[in-house]
Chain A
């Protein structure tokens, strides 16, 4: 039977070794995948494959359980210490990988669940002392890690939103092209806790090829180039540079934005806002939930502002 100091040592070792292996796997995987994909993310941050958030936490849990299983800890303790391990992994990502706080907030529930999965499954496996099963599981996990590293990671997404404005199209169009600062209160919870929200848009010309700037609440600026400029009809712009923010860098590229106006024939206008972005964090199904929600709320904040300004002009 292990003594109390020995117990504490095994618990700490379980956390430290798990995090050490995770740093090596995530670091190696990130740069290998970026190299294999053959395209730049613009800042050298690389691509986070789904293994970084799924398989690596499972491996982390399994490594921790290796140290913890002789201690006969309760399930509740496994979950608690796995949460500590996840917290340390997030802290290490913040310090060494320069990850943003909101990104880590988004990814932490996913990491916790997978770390707990790894720890509890591994505890059961170690307690059974079944070497054939152990080898099969380790083999399966490594196979998924390798298959994911060497498979394609391209994820282009479109988010589209529609809003009816009670104003004729010619009153709406000028505010679509550029708009005065948004002063209304934030409604979206991520904006409330510090994620930058759109504030103002300015242009340096009224034709295709002219520049446009989208300014965010923390002063960040997205530089855009208008590629389609059809008054009272369509404004499409490509994003030519985006801020070097840890919440964005290497995770998402906003590629293109678009506003389409439709005359409803009754003095109202339908405004359609479209955004295209490339995601560099996987699994796409999970991170798309977040990026879609954020993009949608950026759209709605701008489109509702356009609605207020246009309706004031009527």
Chain B
């Protein structure tokens, strides 16, 4: 459903509040097929929030976004999709180490996507966000 919405009615993401309503729907629906997913996302948020100078906000297209010095570290949609922007070189490097994919929309870019489904995925998500955090802190 998520892919269909993004592909066919993705232009509606610019309507105020609509992405957040869609994301809340994902959160409610996700409870039906993976009741632990909201807990994994909460735990990731608690972990990342504890890193120095990190802030958390609602992502403009739904989900939660982590920032450092006003730069995005990454964001998680409520269906468990983690998106992180890296350089193409960093992306190629991480793709060798982690089971990450091209971004679900911007395939030929530095963006990566990773699906969080299990407790082990949660740990990988934290590591990926930490990579992005360290890279952006160093810039």
* Chain A contacts to B: CB under 8 angstroms: 58, 74-76, 79, 112-114, 116-117, 120-121, 124-125, 127-128, 140
- Which residue of B21, B25, B38, B64 contacts A76 across the interface (Cβ within 8 Å)? B38
Residue among A117, A127, A128, A140 making CB contact with B24, cutoff 8 Å: A117
B interface residues, Cβ below 8 angstroms from A: 16-17, 20-21, 23-25, 27-28, 31, 35, 38-39, 41-42, 55-58, 64
**CB contact under 8 A between A79 and B58, given known A113-B25, A120-B24:** no
Could you say which residues of chain A place their CB within 8 Å of the CB of B31?
76, 79
CA distance A74 to B45 in the complex (A): 11
A interface SS class: helix
Query: Which residue of chain B is the closest to A75 with respect to CB atoms?
Result: B38
Asked if A117 and B21 make an inter-chain contact with CB atoms under 8 angstroms apart, the answer reads yes
- Residue picked from A75, A76, A114, most chain B C-beta under 10 Å: A75
Complex: A120 Cα to B20 Cα, angstroms: 9
Q: A113 to chain B: which residues have CB within 8 Å?
A: 21, 24-25, 28
B45 nearest in chain A by CB position: A75
Separation of A114 and B27 alpha carbons in the complex (Å): 12
Contact B56 A116 (CB under 8 A): no
Chain A neighbourhood of B56, CB < 8 A: 124, 127-128
Interface residues of B: mostly helix, strand, loop or mixed?
helix
Complex partner residue of B64 from A74, A112, A117, A124, CB under 8 angstroms: A124
Say whether A140 contacts B42, CB under 8 Å: no
Q: Which chain B residues border A74 with CB–CB below 8 Å?
A: 38-39, 42
Which residues of B sit under 8 angstroms from A127, Cβ to Cβ?
56
- Not counting A79-B31, A112-B28, A113-B24, a sample of 16 additional A-B residue pairs whose C-beta atoms are within 8 angstroms of each other reads A74-B39, A74-B42, A75-B27, A75-B39, A75-B42, A76-B38, A79-B27, A113-B28, A117-B21, A117-B24, A124-B64, A127-B56, A128-B55, A128-B56, A140-B16, A140-B17
Report the separation of the CA atoms of residues A121 and B31 in the bound assembly, to the nearest whole angstrom.
18
Residues on A with C-beta less than 8 A from B23 are: 117
A–B pairs, 11, beta carbons within 8 Å:
A75-B27, A76-B42, A79-B28, A79-B38, A113-B21, A116-B27, A117-B24, A121-B58, A124-B56, A128-B56, A140-B16
Contact partners of B28 in chain A: CB under 8 A: 79, 112-113, 116
Q: How far is the CA of A127 from the CA of B56 in the complex (A)?
A: 9
Question: Which residues of chain B are within 8 angstroms of A128 by Cβ–Cβ distance?
Answer: 55-57
- Max count, chain A CB within 10 A of own CB: residue among B24, B35, B57: B24
**A-side contacts of B42, CB under 8 Å:** 74-76
Given the complex, which residues of A lie within 8 Å of B24, measured CB to CB? 113-114, 116-117, 120
Q: Which 6 A-B pairs have the closest CB atoms?
A: A117-B24, A75-B38, A116-B24, A76-B38, A117-B21, A113-B25
Nearest CB in chain A to that of B31: its residue = A79
A117 touches B38 (CB 8 A): no
Contacts of A116 in B (CB 8 A): 24, 27-28
| B17 cross-chain contacts in A, Cβ below 8 A | 58, 117, 140
- Does B21 lie within 8 Å of A75, measured CB to CB? no
Q: Looking at the assembled complex, report how far the CB atom of B39 sits from the nearest CB atom of chain A, in whole angstroms.
A: 6
Q: Which residue of B lies closest to A72 (CB)?
A: B46
Q: Which residues from chain B contact A124 at a C-beta distance below 8 Å?
A: 56-58, 64
Report the Cα distance A112→B25, complex, angstroms: 9
Complex Cα distance, B17 from A113, in Å, reads 12
CA of A58 to CA of B25, assembled, Å: 13
| Chain B hits for A121, CB < 8 A | 20, 58
Q: Report which residue of A74, A114, A117, A127 has the largest number of chain B beta carbons within 10 angstroms of its beta carbon.
A: A117
Contacts of A76 in B (CB 8 A): 31, 35, 38-39, 42
Min C-beta distance of A47 to chain B, whole Å: 22
* Closest B residue to A137 using CB positions: B17
In the assembled complex, the Cα of A310 lies from the Cα of B17 at a distance in Å of 53
Q: Which residue of B lies closest to A130 (CB)?
A: B57
Complex CA–CA separation, A165 to B21 (angstroms): 45
In angstroms, Cα B55 to Cα A125, docked, is 12
Give the docked Cα–Cα distance between A140 and B21 (Å).
15
A114 / chain B contacts, CB cutoff of 8 Å: 21, 24
